[in-house]
Chain A
Amino acid sequence: MLVVDDLHAGYGASEVLVGTSLTVKPGAVVALIGANGAGKTTTMRAVSGMLRPTRGRVTLDGREVQGLDASRIARLGLAHSPEGRKVFGPLSVEDNLLLGAYSRLPKFLGYKASARADLDRIYELFPRLKDRARQSAGTLSGGEQQMLAIGRALMAQPKVMLLDEPSMGLAPVIVQEVFRTIRRLKEEGITLLLVEQFAKSALEVADYAYVMERGRIAVEGTPEELGRNERVIAAYLG
């Protein structure tokens, strides 16, 4: 579904990604783990078009998308829930969700009626968002904003979803809730690429995982295989 091949990207003169390759199969949850600064977030940004790759290929559902605008890649079926959540603070929770489905909805009126079923599904998944539907997103707690960011990405009915550091800055109880949600998404068959600092929790939900070091993939395998790898255990699972 998503194939990244020999991806190079960076900021100005400093190259962060030096030939990253990975594959996300349809319906799979793939975890991308590694130390801070290894290039996990940069990989996500280069895949979704927020950052233009300097070399390499990104194939989404059989179509090469590297070098396209982020908005174009989003319309082709990739939903990226970015690091730091980036909800639209001044807009209401419901407007944030509706904008998640922007490319599928009528642009002037009647968009809410067309999105009714999707909205209900998100509210069923995150009842707290329903209670706060009219509140502006900026007033939500960190955990609620993360739910909103995930919900907003789901509204797009994406072919592939990128989820970057969903547990960042959240209390342990909320982190558990985030992982419960991810497990639920997995049951629903969502294709997901997950970047996480909590390597252990990420490996518990993932079907397959990549370990990044200094801009490229160092080790890959199923969670069981990585769980037996001495180096991975020492560095990330200790």
Chain B
Amino acid sequence: MNALIIGQMAVSGALMGLVYALIAYGFQLTYATSKSINFGQGELVMVSAFFCLTLTNLGLPYWLMVPGGLLFGALMGLIIERAGVRLALEQKSEGWILLSIIMGLFLFSAAENIWGRDDRPFPTPISADPIRVFGVDVTRLELSVAVGVFAIMGLIELFKRRTLLGKAFEAVSADRDAAELMGISATRTVMLSYALSGAVAALAGILVSPITTVGPTMASALILKAFSVAVVAGLDSGFGVVLIGMALGALESLASFYLGSGWREAPGLTLLILALAVRPTGVFGKAVIRKV
């Protein structure tokens, strides 16, 4: 019986952990091409979720709302790249950190003004009735998170490996200068990575909202966990974030069940500190020697 409870906790936790993994994957996408990440990614998750809620309230069916949300996320990603990150990167400055935080705060205030401060339910046609798999109850809703996360990550990885544009993306990650000499525009590749990262953030919002509700602060805890996952797994392994994300989700769920809900955040922060102390390049990361 006890084993079953542990299994139950671990499985639901791991499924939630996939959302952390997805957001962390969004960090990896932009880091690969530009060595920058959007520190306002959590707010991007949140406004995209609100935008999708509005689309749904306007009567758009779920399956049309999803692509609409992804497009919105991609567009927001492009705006953040153009209005914030690029300005800093062109000056070879680290100002993108502050600029992306500021844009996040701006999105947060905008969301409070447009949609209000209350948490709202997010309607979905996917049922929350549990199905029993090997004695463990999972809901279709939780499974939809897994399906969505693996689908978009799989598609993006397929794009990177199979299309020439995707290979150009990898080339810019490997050596930006050399890629430029092939006629590949690094600027456009960075834009593409921010658009993809934005779409990924939007999908994270769409997947998690039916479970957690939508509100201006919905992503503040999520984003912290996603950071932990990205740091622990390293910024260049998509496989790593999935594994670490699921492990963290499971640990959190077990910690809050056995130690009390106040302990929920403990595993993430512990992992983060351990990783920074023991292996700062991430468990799956490659050590990079910076040549000066």
Contacts and interface: CB of A to CB of B under 8 A. Distances in A.
Given A99-B168, A107-B163, A107-B165, A71 B175 contact: no
B181 A48 contact: yes
Contacts of B186: 71
Given A86-B175, A91-B171, A91-B174, A79 B181 contact: yes
Interface in A95-112: 95, 98-100, 102-103, 105-109, 111
Interface in B155-190: 162-165, 167-168, 170-171, 174-175, 177-187
A171 to B, nearest CB: 24
Size class of the A contact interface (CB-based, 8 Å): 20 to 34
Interface in B118-177: 162-165, 167-168, 170-171, 174-175, 177
A98 B177 contact: no
Contacts of B181: 48, 50, 70-71, 74, 79-80, 82, 86
Interface in A102-139: 102-103, 105-109, 111
Of the listed residues B165, B174, B185, the one surrounded by the most CB atoms of chain A closer than 10 A to its CB is: B174
B170 A82 contact: no
A196 to B, nearest CB: 19
Contact of B184 (A82, A99, A106, A108): A99
Size class of the B contact interface (CB-based, 8 Å): 20 to 34
B164 A50 contact: no
Contacts of B163: 107-109, 111
A80 B182 CA distance: 8
A50 B181 CA distance: 8
Contacts of A89: 174-175
Contacts of B167: 91, 95, 98-99
A102 B182 contact: yes
A13 B214 CA distance: 53
A102 B180 contact: no
A61 to B, nearest CB: 15
Nearest to B189: A71
B170 A70 contact: no
Given A88-B170, A99-B171, A102-B168, A74 B183 contact: yes
B182 A100 contact: yes
B170 A109 contact: no
Given A69-B185, A88-B175, A91-B170, A106 B164 contact: yes
A37 interface: no
A90 interface: yes
Given A88-B171, A95-B167, A102 B183 contact: yes
B32 to A, nearest CB: 11
A11 to B, nearest CB: 13
A156 B180 CA distance: 13
Nearest to B174: A88
Interface in B182-240: 182-187
B180 A70 contact: yes
Interface of B: 162-165, 167-168, 170-171, 174-175, 177-187
CB-CB nearest 3 A-B residue pairs: A103-B183, A74-B183, A70-B180
Given A88-B170, A98-B164, A99-B184, 13 more contacts: A49-B180, A69-B180, A71-B179, A75-B183, A86-B175, A86-B181, A88-B179, A91-B170, A91-B174, A99-B168, A102-B164, A102-B183, A102-B184
